[in-house]
Amino acid sequence: MDKEQIEITVREAIPDDAEQLVDVLGRVGRETAFLVMDGNGPAVTVEEMAHNLEDLYESPNNILMVALLGDQIVGTASVSASDKKRVEHIGEIGISILKDYWGFGLGSLMMEELIIWAKEGGIIRRLELTVQHRNIRAVQLYEKMGFITETIMPRGAKTDDGEFLDVHLMVLLVD
């Protein structure tokens, strides 16, 4: 696929995306060992996903965005935050991209959209994420976006074979 010809649209996920989202997240879980989610995919039904998307739509400090190539979802980006007043300003980022679309700048595009959303929303003041130390491309992307490594967590994750992995806790203060 020619990198010059890919045209992606990013928008907020809607309940009608539920079936495709469950499928895409399952594929992502099988394609990479860099995520917490394994090859079993998300532990939700299509109906539960649709309901979750309705709830997200109503939340001022949570979002799930989808990256579309035509009408096909090829990636997701989310901010998950609490509704508890004392920590409602902390948003945890998650980005998942189908392997066929790695290397097209999609991670950068989606991260930029999440940062803009957080700044415009005015509630999220701290974005954080965890990333395996061995996922060098992702660490470099997050650093390019202004994230800093707050700490490295020894044994922050483990492989399917039981090998422990170091994990970066990275943060971006939204001001």
Give 10-residue mean pLDDT values along the chain (175 residues).
Answer: 70 94 86 55 80 89 96 95 96 93 91 96 97 91 96 93 94 95
Residue 44 confidence (pLDDT): 81
Structure tokens at 114: 């999440």
Residue closest to 118 by CA, chosen among 150, 160, 143, 146 = 146
CA distances from 119 to 45, 48, 89, 110, 129 (A): 32, 29, 11, 14, 17
The upper half-sphere exposure of residue 128, i.e. CA atoms within 13 Å in the direction of its Cβ, equals 14
pTM above 0.85, yes or no: yes
CA 64/CA 10 separation, integer angstroms: 10
Q: Where are the domains of the chain?
A: 8-128
Which CATH number is 8-128's, of 3.20.20.140, 3.40.630.30, 1.20.200.10, 3.30.565.10?
A: 3.40.630.30
